[in-house]
Amino acid sequence: MHITVLAGGIGGARFTRGLLHHLSGIGDGDVDVTVIGNTGDDIRLFGLQICPDLDTVMYTLGNGISRERGWGREDETFTVKEELAAYGVAPGWFGLGDRDTATHLVRTQMLAAGYPLSAVTEALCARWEPGIRLLPMSDDRLETHVIVDDEEPGTRRAIHFQEWWIRHRAGIPAHGFVLVGVDEATPAPGVIEAIRDADVVLLPPSNPIVSIGTILQVPGIREALRATAAPVVGVSPIIGGAPVHGMADACLAAVGVDTSASAVARHYGARRSAVPAGADAGGILDGWLVHASSDSASVDELTPLGIATRAVPLLMTDIEATASIASAALDLAASITR
Ligand code: GDP
Ligand code: CA
């Protein structure tokens, strides 16, 4: 059995850790998991190519993640960051850890030597042994930029996603997102095959706009999801009208989507309609998990639209709770296949 997961950073990584725990619990060694990671958050700073979401997945599944922060390395120090600040070198807002910097150095050196990001990621994962195959969504350099107001009234400018997210804590209004480079981008080797040949495709509770939404923009990926024979099941990152962590509400507002579990599902859209049964409905979802009980009303709202919806507890409080969420997603997928 092949499971393919489209993931951002923390939400995607934690869900996948729970999925692997569930699979090992049922003793199913015959399952392989491929994670397609968002690279729209990538940023080049101080000459280093930094891939925050790929690293979050790699460190989380390789047991190197900071449990306290949820990103970056455990036992981290920030001497390099402090020394850069002492030189007055901007930006000072990016959390560049010393241990983490070694990862960025290896990656940057390999990219400079001509290796594609997918090969670099595989090489980095050889150390961390994450128990999954981690593929960047694309080997092409892609960056999410955010359209914000400029100082001069009536004019706008674009800033890097990380500047908006970390420096401004998503606190300045966004008018939209641009994935710079997407027109010429292609999926990384193996990405389309991983979706096409999957038995189940899972969308973890990652940010629907700037994590999963970004992956869907890479030419060919959305089409592959729409065409795969595998059921596509998602988990809501929105519980009771708010993100569990972070500022996903600011991203949803920027593209005119309500911050609710059902609005996110409708944004993804059903692959096939319920009436007439099986007609192409233009979206990517077959199934959707919402939080019980705050969002249970979504079940009756979404099921007639062709999105098989179930309400189960969706808080990833510990690995057992997260494994239960993954198990519920696989159960829902199995019910759709039948
Ligand atoms: P990022 O790239 O690090 O921002 O992480 P992701 O895009 O993968 O995931 C971020 C999303 O995870 C946020 O929108 C959160 O609401 C969601 N999230 C975090 N913890 C939980 C949880 O325990 N349960 C659910 N359902 N969603 C969560
Ligand atoms: Ca991210």
CA separation, residue 253 to residues 148, 195, 225, 242 (Å): 13, 29, 25, 12
Q: Is there a domain that residue 216 lies in?
A: yes
What pLDDT score does 252 carry? 98
Q: Which listed ligand is nearest to 212 at the C-alpha?
A: 1
Dihedral, 309, 311, 316, 322 alpha carbons, nearest 10: -70
Q: Which residue has the tokens 């925050």?
A: 52
Q: Which listed ligand is nearest to 52 at the C-alpha?
A: 2
| Ligand 1 centroid, distance to 132 Cα (angstroms) | 20
Give the residue whose CA is nearest to atom 17 of ligand 1.
237
pLDDT at 29 over 90: no
Residues 177-199 pLDDT 10s: 999 999 999 999 999 999 999 99
Q: Which listed ligand is nearest to 235 at the C-alpha?
A: 1
Q: For strand 48-50 and strand 43-45, is the pairing parallel, antiparallel, or unpaired?
A: antiparallel
Please provide the DSSP assignment of 272-300 as one string: B-TTTTT-B-SSSBSEEEEETTTTTHHHH
pLDDT at 64 over 90: yes
Q: What are phi and psi of 262, to 5 degrees?
A: -75, -35
Q: Which two tokens stand for residue 321?
A: 């709770």
Residue 11, burial from CB neighbour count under 10 angstroms (0-12, 13-18, 19+): buried
Give the residue whose CA is nearest to atom 1 of ligand 1.
9
- Which atom of ligand 1 lies at the shortest distance from residue 210's CA? 7
| Ligand 2 centroid, distance to 210 Cα (angstroms) | 7
Average pLDDT over residues 254-272: 98
| Ligand 2 centroid, distance to 5 Cα (angstroms) | 15
What pLDDT score does 52 carry? 98
Angle (CA) 20 3 19, round 5°: 20
CB-based contact 284:225 (threshold 8 Å): yes
- Which atom of ligand 1 lies at the shortest distance from residue 211's CA? 7
What pLDDT score does 300 carry? 98
- Percentage of the chain exceeding pLDDT 70: 100
Position 28 confidence tier, pLDDT thresholds 50, 70, 90: confident
Q: Is there a domain that residue 16 lies in?
A: yes
- Which atom of ligand 1 lies at the shortest distance from residue 317's CA? 23
| Ligand 2 centroid, distance to 8 Cα (angstroms) | 5
pLDDT at 271 over 90: yes
| Ligand 2 centroid, distance to 41 Cα (angstroms) | 6
Q: Is there a domain that residue 164 lies in?
A: no
Q: Is there a domain that residue 56 lies in?
A: yes
pLDDT at 122 over 80: yes
Q: What is the mean pLDDT of the chain?
A: 97
pLDDT at 1 over 90: yes
Q: Is there a domain that residue 111 lies in?
A: yes
Distance of CA 231 to the CA centre of its chain: 18
Provide residues with CB under 6 Å of ligand 1: 7-12, 53, 56, 205-207, 211, 235-237, 239, 243-246, 248, 314-316
Q: Is there a domain that residue 104 lies in?
A: yes
Q: Is there a domain that residue 114 lies in?
A: yes
Q: Establish how many alpha carbons lie within 13 A of residue 189's alpha carbon, considering only the half-sphere containing its beta carbon.
A: 8
Q: Is there a domain that residue 165 lies in?
A: no
| Ligand 1 centroid, distance to 223 Cα (angstroms) | 25
| Ligand 2 centroid, distance to 10 Cα (angstroms) | 7
Q: Which domain holds residue 291?
A: 1-143+190-241+259-338
Average pLDDT over residues 29-47: 96
- Which atom of ligand 1 lies at the shortest distance from residue 291's CA? 26
Q: Which of 5, 6, 10 to mutate to test the pocket of ligand 1 (most atoms within 8 A of CB)?
A: 10
Position 131 confidence tier, pLDDT thresholds 50, 70, 90: very high
State the total domains in the chain.
Answer: 1
Residue 50 CA to residue 275 CA, distance in Å, equals 46
Position 338 confidence tier, pLDDT thresholds 50, 70, 90: low
Q: b/e for 250-259, b at 16 or more Cβ within 10 A?
A: bbbbbeebeb
What pLDDT score does 74 carry? 97
